Amino acid sequence: MDNNSLGKRKAEVTSEADNRRATLITLFKDGRFSDVKILVGPDKQCFDLHRAIITLRSRYFDAACREYFEEGRNREIWLQEIEPDVFASIANWMYDGGYDIATPGRPFSHTHLINAYKAADYLQMPGLKQELLENFAKFLQMAATADDEPIKKEKGYEFYSVLQELCAHSQVSQWVNLRTCAHIGLAYTPITKERLLSFSRDHPGSPLALALLVELYQGIVDSLLCATCQPAYVPRNNRNCVKCRKPCGTITTITDADLN
């Protein structure tokens, strides 16, 4: 297949995917053919959805829609603890609309991020949790390099508190994505010893958050020592060892920003 044919085929696949996505979004917005009602929040705001779609996206809905549960027989599920605006974004994601933690109509909110992540954990949506963490990492990177740094200016925002809350509703399967967020956050928000000690207090997210930070700091320390001064260590960078002052190696994995 030549380049022109390959490019044409890619365009056709993209077009087909866009058409499927547009069809699902139309189905989401038009509740005429829905077969389950999702009542959200204390006021029971109603979302008319489709079992065939939501059960594929959520293990919680997959179980709740079965007929041996009252919710499955009545075709009504009440999510009392989830906020309607958060669930609206989640429903949009289930219908393949994607999930952006910041949009032109909704600027970044750490509260919305945490609530969405908690809801995704409750509804057993590992795919959404991964997408939220990936988007958060991208947003952190943009905030670290932007002149106005919109994340830092948000009232009440503190990176390590957000990390702690995310960790409280995470499993080991989210380790890689959480580590990426922690790595970026640590680079532009150095942690004080007082804040580090606070992770030893009784908070559901403290153990995982502390493990992430310990691993990151160990990587920074390891990058400063050569294989001679740390025998079990494989050389990773081209700096001089801080102990013997000899070159450590030739492969760089830790950036200067990590050491500042």
pLDDT tens sequence across 120-155: 999 999 999 999 999 999 888 887 776 555 565 676
In a domain, 82, yes or no: yes
Write out the E strands in the chain. 36-40, 45-49, 76-79
Range of the domain at 71: 1-98
In a domain, 144, yes or no: no
> What CATH number did the domain enclosing 38 receive?
3.30.710.10
Collapsing DSSP to helix, strand or coil, 49 comes out as: strand
Q: Mean of the pLDDT values across residues 147-171?
A: 79
In a domain, 62, yes or no: yes
In a domain, 70, yes or no: yes
State residue 21's pLDDT score.
67
In a domain, 51, yes or no: yes
Task: Specify the pTM.
Answer: 0.76
Q: Tell me how far apart the alpha carbons of residues 150 and 145 are, in angstroms, rounded to a whole number.
A: 11
In a domain, 152, yes or no: no
Angle, CA 198 vertex, CA 128 and CA 203 arms, to 5° = 45
**What's the structural domain count of the chain?**
1
From the list 184, 150, 181, the residue with the least C-alpha distance to 165 is 181
- Please provide the size of the chain in residues: 260
From the list 229, 231, 198, the residue with the least C-alpha distance to 213 is 198
What are 193-249's pLDDT values in tens digits? 788 788 777 788 888 888 888 888 776 666 665 555 555 444 445 566 555 666 655
pLDDT at 30 exceeding the cut of 80: no
CB neighbours of 231 closer than 8 A, spacing ≥ 6? none
Tokens of 40: 């959200």
- Evaluate whether 65 touches 36 at the Cβ level (below 8 Å): yes
In a domain, 9, yes or no: yes
Higher pLDDT, residue 152 or 251: 152
